[in-house]
Amino acid sequence: MPGMCLIPSKLKDLARPRLQVAYLTIVLIFALTMPTALAQSAGTSTLQGTITDATGAVVPGAQVTVTNVGTGVARTEISNENGFYSAQSLQGGDYKLTITKAGFEKSNVQAIHLAPSTVLGVNPVLTVGDVTSEITVTADAVSVQTETSESGGTIPGKEVSQLMVNGRNFQTLATIVPGVTSVQGANQLTVGGASSSAQVQISVGGTSVEQTAYFIDGVYDSAGLNLFAQPTMDSIQEFRVLKGNYGANYGFVGSGQILVQTKSGGRQFHGTVFDYVRNNDLGTAKNFFYKQGTPYGLHQNIFGYSLGGPVFIPKIYNNDRAKTFFFASGEWHLTNSSQSLTRAFFPQTMRDGDFSASPTRTGNLAIDANSQALLASRGVDPATCIGANNQINKSCFDPVAVSLMNAYFPLPNAVVPGQFNNYVNTKAQRLFDSSVLYRLDHTINEKNQIMGRYMYEEANIQLAARNYNDPAPDPGASNYSQGLNAMARWTFTPTSNITNNAQISEVFLKAKNALSGNYTVPVGTYIPLPLGQDPLNRIPSMQINGGWNWLGVGAYPTYSNNGIGSISDDFSYLKGKHSLQFGGIYMIGITRANVATGNVPQGNFVFSGVHTGDPAADYLLGLDASFVQINQQRAGVFHYRWFEGYAQDDYHVTPRFVANLGLRWTYYGPTTREGNQVANFSASTFDPAQAPVVNPNGSLVTNASGVPATSTGANANLTNGLVIAGQNGVPAGIINPRKSYFAPRVGFAYRVTADGKTSVHGGYGIAYTQVNQQNTIILLPNPPYTKNINITNSLLSNPSAGTPAAASVQSLQAVGYDFRAGLIQTFSLTLEREIVPHGVLSLAYAGNTQQHTLSTQLDANFPTNSLSPQTTSCLTSQSALKNNTTPAPSSTFQFDPCLNTGTNARAYYRPYKGYDQILSTMSGGSGNYHSFQSGFIYRTSSITLNAAYTFAKSLSDVVPSNPGSNGGSGVGYNSAATFQNSNDIASEYGRPDYARTHVFTSAIVYQLPFFKNSTNFLEHEFLSGWGLSGLAIIESGFALTPSNTNGDAGLSTRPDQVLAPKYHGSGKVGLGEPNYFVNPTGTYRKPAYGFFGNARNGSIVGPKEVSFDVSATKAFPIYKSFNAELRVEAFNVFNHPNITSISTQYGAANFGQAIAAGDPRIMEAAFRLSF
């Protein structure tokens, strides 16, 4: 653990304490010497306003002193000829404003709270009198927005520290802002570095999670679907969510901006020590899935500390504690969660050769003629292998099969009569996550301040098994990652109207999917692989059909190390009524990664039962149906550049009307690989005359030499259409970068009433999102740099003994030449009114349009609409009907019905012959979002209340996969969207899976005021110091899409919809309710042969989610400001069985039923010490 000795750590390099100090010193020195050349918002805030007298006349030349209450650091500004002052580049926190002017009484405004990355208007009114007289007023804890057009919300420190958060992931709190939802709903958001469980979950303004950017102290922290490093709850001062219409000083994405400010030290020491515990003994409930018998167990411990204060040496340095401050925090997560992984393993009887009771045997065992010859080739007499009553002679077993079975196949441990699965792995999944943060702030003088911050996270998830198909303890696997977010900033204020922020930063996320335990071929066992041995000697991948366990490690170990270094600057200049900002950021990125999917160098064997009538017997005899191997697992080092610049003018037309005008320009450099050596498919270079002829079954026609042939009989070009990066005029990054990404922003804020209690603000803006920055990485598996071999009907102990598969088409990955950044146009209009003292109501319309939305799953070689000579024979009296009533003429077919019957292969109809699917990036998607958003915020010293309701509609033609359909992955992730018909994207138009029509959230923190001033010891100790808090989430369900999984679906992936979905019950089978949430009877049907399904994406509305989290706290004063606190927290306190996924596979027996549920009631206890 960096800088700590509580827990042993594996960290190296920057994780070492001495190197941490050295790193922080270097970045601070760099910040002090960096020139003022660029500009970019650095996560700071502005306090500004117009000073007037009692008659409303402006007061120029007033001295305005802005003092940070926590640190005592002060800055002096002078109001200009318009009475306007602006203190920029301030850290969020509590401030005091002091205004002096000859002829007026001194005025103090105290308790001003400045949220991070905000512009707060404070407009003092001076009273004529002697400057020695003094008036003090207290600012409102909450006020209407009067300075900017942006739409957003702030989660203040009290809510961050006091609200219960399931998993202590700060993203949960973002949902109390109108227009913000979590794709995890009310369920726990965990940590875990680069793991899938730690992916970003926030959808803002009806857009996918890729459209939300995260910033920590102004440093870009978004690493694809994860964060480079996640701040802990006790290190966060507060954070802000910007939803749209923000100034040009914000960029990177087109929708949400989550701006986190970390804590800093102050003049007084303050700190915490805490421990949050949950386990089965605390009364954690089990939802209905667990009641059906699934084992359940959870043990979680989250503990840590925070400490901040002044850096001083008595009588030597910083005696007044107003110069240098530090803050440090650390948090550790230890979680053991039960798993129940089931599969079928060979029982001892079958290991001994007795297959009389094999559940996967079809008829009596018999060895086909080809396999008899293969057995004979390894010295086995096939006539002696199969005996009476389906007995197999063990001497006929393949020695490699036996060796792998003995090493990696455990014996059954959960045999239940009549149940196929006979093995259960109940090994716990273990998470260890550690996060530390160190921050230093230093005031050189009133004009110069510097700060540095270092945040590091390490996560290690030990999986119970490598995957669900192979639940055996070995081979084991883990997800390990290291994340860094470090920065240094210099704030220079040469004059009262000029401020400059210079900043450098470095972020990285190093992720590795590692192997543990045994994962190599056993000693003494050798498999002669035709394309060479695997350098890591990993066990081959084994697929044993019929539901038996699989074996293998896939592409593990895999790695992806992504880092970004950036330099930025923000220059602010106050001129008359104009508050001007100019800036930019330059980023350099590097990624090191290897191929994580596809064929593997150790080979992949499939045992289907085709040779003996039983896949298990095929395996033990070593008789595979197919074998595939690739010659290498490629890797690469990739580089990219990124620049964004902006200009912003906040023009105070009148003291009550502000116009916000801005322009941002973005340049994305394409990703290049060191040494190039990546190939992309280019349709413009594909020559049909050089393409091989494809047979109806998908194989390639060969000439007399056995080589795939063209229509003229010549040797076909099997790399037809492939272009190499950096060669023959092809850019090193495949695509040429665009330089036209200009994004204007316009808006206004109007203080409707003179008392500042009513405001209207709104605007329009364009922004760009560069999703999938590292697009060239996907090209690594493409030929000609890889070679595959496919052999059928071979031996496990000698794959080359089989028959080379017929020449066939090959799949490709591609970067589309239309690749461009996504464009979002946002627009909103908001009315805010302080309807009660300390309480502000907001009503807003907010919307956006989305263009050039990216998907990486478009099939650029999708079959064309054409018929074959076999079409007539593929039709039947029933399947040929359109809408089951009228025969469909062949001219109306959307694809050949022979694809439904399986007579012909898709490759036969693909336009680029010689290739199977070409999965390509596509930037042609579009969408829109419209919403009514309302919110109410009430804040006093003892109570904080938030309530938000959003009514919204979101539509897109790039729709992610169904929630929960792949363990939850893909939800809210547009880049993973697939298409039923890649030739007709418009037909995909529907509701994306993350769309929720109604969302209501509310949060409350209430410190009970009773007995806190009592002089009675017992009353003060036991009856005072109580607190209550709660978080409510009530929202519509996800948008679900029915899928067509019937074996004769052809190209259709969705069914036909006949009637509107009928919602009969909850889908919670076994609770006495209707079995189906969606009743399939009469609602859907299979599409007719030759037609795509017409059911729309998102046409099913999933079950609503309802969750109430509550917490009770009791503080025990120990000495002065030193307190102990006990907390009891309950998440989903009413144990509402929230359904997270419904089976939408039309034709499946469980269609419409619940297949996954969210968190049940979870109880948690905590102990905190604070001072």
Average pLDDT for 268-275: 95
Number of residues in the chain: 1171
Give 686-714 as a DSSP string: --GGGSPPB-TTSBBPB-TTSSBB-TTSS
Q: Which two tokens stand for residue 784?
A: 């000609």
Question: Would the pLDDT of 35 be above 60?
Answer: no
Q: Which residues of 24-63 are buried (b: 16+ CB within 10 A; e: fewer)?
A: beebbebbeebeeebbbbbbbbbbbbbbbbeeeebbeebb
Helix (H, G, I), strand (E, B) or coil at 768: strand
Using CA atoms, how far residue 506 sits from 14, 490, 589, 611, in Å, is 12, 16, 10, 58
Cβ burial of 398 (10 Å; 0-12, 13-18, 19+) is buried
pLDDT of residue 771: 67
Helix (H, G, I), strand (E, B) or coil at 1025: coil
What dihedral angle (degrees, nearest 10) is formed by the CA atoms of 283, 287, 288, 294?
Answer: -80
What dihedral angle (degrees, nearest 10) is formed by the CA atoms of 259, 264, 266, 270?
Answer: 110
Interval 970-987: pLDDT, tens: 456 777 888 999 999 999
Question: Would the pLDDT of 912 be above 60?
Answer: yes
Rounded CA separation 147/756 (Å)? 11
Phi-psi region of 964 (alpha: psi -120 to 50; beta: other; left: phi over 0): left
Cβ 847 vs Cβ 762: under 8 Å: no
Rounded CA separation 1126/1111 (Å)? 10
Q: Which two tokens stand for residue 57?
A: 């006349």
Question: Would the pLDDT of 943 be above 80?
Answer: yes
Cβ 1028 vs Cβ 1114: under 8 Å: no
Question: Would the pLDDT of 1087 be above 60?
Answer: yes
Interval 761-809: pLDDT, tens: 999 999 998 865 557 889 999 999 999 999 999 999 999 999 888 888 9
pLDDT of residue 412: 94
Chain-centroid distance, C-alpha 779: 23
Q: Which two tokens stand for residue 26?
A: 């270097």
Cβ 412 vs Cβ 347: under 8 Å: yes
DSSP letter assigned to residue 798: B
3-state secondary structure 186-211: CCCCCCCCCCHHHCCCEEECCCCHHH
Residue 1147: pLDDT band (50, 70, 90) is confident
Sign of the C-alpha dihedral, residues 157, 159, 163, 165?
negative
Residue 859: pLDDT band (50, 70, 90) is very high
Beta strands at 45-50 and 119-121: parallel, antiparallel or unpaired: parallel
Q: Which residues of 663-700 are buried (b: 16+ CB within 10 A; e: fewer)?
A: bbbbebbbbbbeebbbbbbeeeebeeebbbbbbbebbb
Q: What angle do CA 825, 830, 834 make, to 5 degrees?
A: 155
Question: Would the pLDDT of 9 be above 70?
Answer: no
Average pLDDT for 138-142: 73
Share of the chain above pLDDT 70, in %: 90
| Cis? peptide before 1074, omega within 30° of 0 | no
What dihedral angle (degrees, nearest 10) is formed by the CA atoms of 1049, 1053, 1059, 1062?
Answer: 110
Rounded CA separation 659/655 (Å)? 11
Q: What is the rounded average pLDDT for all residues in the chain?
A: 87
Helix (H, G, I), strand (E, B) or coil at 552: coil
Question: Would the pLDDT of 14 be above 70?
Answer: no
Phi-psi region of 603 (alpha: psi -120 to 50; beta: other; left: phi over 0): left
| Closest by CA position to 814, among listed 926, 688, 722, 685 | 722
Interval 429-483: pLDDT, tens: 888 999 999 999 999 998 999 999 999 999 999 988 887 678 888 898 999 999 9
Average pLDDT for 624-639: 95
Residue 291: pLDDT band (50, 70, 90) is very low
pLDDT of residue 817: 87
pLDDT of residue 886: 53
Interval 534-549: pLDDT, tens: 999 999 999 999 999 9
Residue 311: pLDDT band (50, 70, 90) is very high
pLDDT of residue 29: 46
Name all domains of the chain by residue range, CATH numbers in brackets. Answer: 45-138 (2.60.40.1120), 151-262 (2.170.130.10), 941-1171 (no CATH)
Sign of the C-alpha dihedral, residues 855, 860, 862, 865?
positive
Question: Would the pLDDT of 2 be above 50?
Answer: no
DSSP letter assigned to residue 363: S
| Closest by CA position to 325, among listed 209, 420, 443 | 443
Question: Would the pLDDT of 288 be above 60?
Answer: no
Using CA atoms, how far residue 32 sits from 41, 502, 503, 506, in Å, is 18, 8, 9, 16
Question: Would the pLDDT of 31 be above 80?
Answer: no
Helix (H, G, I), strand (E, B) or coil at 659: strand
Report the 10 Å Cβ neighbour count for 910: 22
pTM above 0.85, yes or no: yes
pLDDT of residue 23: 43
pLDDT of residue 746: 97
Residue 969: pLDDT band (50, 70, 90) is very low
Interval 80-105: pLDDT, tens: 888 888 888 888 888 898 988 888 88
Chain-centroid distance, C-alpha 984: 28
pLDDT of residue 889: 63
Sign of the C-alpha dihedral, residues 142, 143, 147, 149?
positive
Q: Residue 985 phi/psi, 5° resolution?
A: -65, -30
Interval 103-114: pLDDT, tens: 888 888 888 888
